[in-house]
Amino acid sequence: MYEKIMYFDKWAQIIKDEILSDQDTTWYHPLGLVTPVGIQIPNMPGSFAQGRMKFINRNLNYFYFKSMVKMATSQRYEFNSKYINSLAFCNYIRPYVSEFGPFGRMCIWKLPPNCSIKPHVDNLTYHSHITRYIFCIGDQVGPEASITINKREIEVRPGLLFNFYPYHERHEFKNNTDTDWFFLGFDYWNLKLLDFAKIKYDITESTDIHYSLNFGIKLEQYMSEH
């Protein structure tokens, strides 16, 4: 659990300014119920319902694993031009954390006042192939916010970076203040596991993946428009 804990205070302020300056992109409201084993039931409020999200490389449909493998293989992500500093940070830390695999999902989280992401694990196939990093951006310190991984609490402050494994580590986030709390949650693929997945599903850069033209969690490439 969280093998790498580091602090990047200046980057936290830079990314906070970037988030606050974006008045155009709508915050995505995740509504699906996530059960203790990570299964999402659409149209029912659940673990994520109090949170809001924006995306550095769009709202990738992690339920469609073959699509996620293809995107990691081609690395043809559509990066959000509003969040060039956030993307730069995720690349900047690679040598510090020894992560050289492609990006997976890259989410900007906002927890409104006195809201939480409830305890859960994310155990879709995708989550067994990545390492997740959390980077705290908001001003909350210590008991003003809390992060708990497998019943162990990590002391919160701006600039905190750590990793964990959402596939089997139960995690929760709480904002105990009357102001919004921001953090990044972003994934790097495990290169060995990605190679196995390419072989198993026979996916190369030129593989044609079938997509529905809508947004959702079945055969869609993205779960929402932005």
> Is residue 85 in some structural domain?
yes
pTM over cut 0.85: yes
Instruction: Provide the pLDDT for residue 39.
Output: 53
> Is residue 38 in some structural domain?
no
Cα separation, 20 vs 41, whole angstroms: 32
> Is residue 140 in some structural domain?
yes
> Is residue 177 in some structural domain?
yes
> Is residue 212 in some structural domain?
no
Instruction: Provide the pLDDT for residue 42.
Output: 56
Instruction: Provide the pLDDT for residue 36.
Output: 46
Classify burial at 9, counting beta carbons within 10 Å of its beta carbon; exposed 0-12, middle 13-18, buried 19 or more. exposed
Say how many domains are in the chain.
1
Q: Provide the CATH number for the domain around residue 194.
A: 2.60.120.10
The 10s digit of each residue's pLDDT in 187-220 is 999 999 999 999 999 999 999 999 999 999 899 9
The 10s digit of each residue's pLDDT in 176-189 is 999 999 999 999 99
